[in-house]
Structure 1
Amino acid sequence: MSKLTLFLLLLLLDTVPQAFAQTKPRLTLTIIPTDYSNNVSVGPVISFDHTGCFYVLLTNTSERPVNLFEEWNSWGYFGLSFDLTYTDGRKVRAVKAGRGWDKNFASTVTIAPGGFFVFPVTFNTDPKIGDVWQNSPRSKKINGPGVSCRMRAVYSIESSREATEHKAWTGTITSPEATYTIWP
């Protein structure tokens, strides 16, 4: 075998796996504050006064559809969490508390290329009202100008047999970290 043939064969062997490699869809995660400034803060504010929630936007920036587990089932329910760092340096992760399941089976929603999924987030701490969040910044009564913290959203789905069967997205993505005032 000539050196040229060997070189071309090695080049071909190097590029074939890349050509057939499946690229993972690109997703972005963004926290949407309820206000970008108000009488409580000159920076982004998450206020639960009127709406009772704020939103996190997951966007499919790839050219392929993406299947996400729905939030009503155990595979998607725990997907969204938040890393919070308070001004005193304390760090916590806010997560949905465990719960029982009357019905539970894996189901997905498909996000089109360029499409998005919106997560409403309450940081609720009262089980009578709905989903409960552990380490919620609303765990204590908020007085005065609110609670300032650095926060980022985290969306993470682990690989599983169900993820493979439903061709559901798996992995971890985070939003940019920013300072927010949370009130009340």
Structure 2
Amino acid sequence: MKLFTLNFIASFLFGALLTCSTAFAQEKTELQYFRQNSKEGLNVFESPKEKGGDFDKVRVFVGGDFALQFQSINHSNSLNNLVQLGSNFNLPSANLNINTQLADGMRLHLRTYLSSKHHNEAWVKGGYVQIDRLGFIKEGFLDGVMDYTTLTFGMDEFNYGDAHFRRTDNARAIYNPFIPSDK
């Protein structure tokens, strides 16, 4: 009976410790100048110039995208010489997104494809440093210019028209207009 009581107390203390550390891990903070990865980011093509959260220290935000898509395609022609297509699920895909708030108005983004249609290994899709304020150089430095300017260094997505902003980016399918959403 004493062994059961000790195990119960140890389990309770471990659970309480785990709950407390989880509560601290779920602290509500926002990235500055960030296009949301949820429905709030639909039809937003650039990061907003509204500041968002306040900067107090360097923070790392880890997120992900996951998709399991069903595909059903038919095709036909007048000769009826096409291969019959079936319906099935595509391979699951996943992205790992790391966003870091480095300074006030400065953040780093890195996207890694963990699984995708034609790759069985993880690979870095791209990353960039985005600067929306130059206060880390000198307080108030070029504030009037930076109200309308965003500096981006690195490589993430080539801009080749509006369709590019609406396509599925591996597992980030929420922005694709052909994927139903209830917005």
Higher relative contact order (CA 8 A, sep 6+): 1
Give the structure with the higher percent helix.
2
Q: Based on CA coordinates, which of the two structures has the bigger radius of gyration?
A: 2
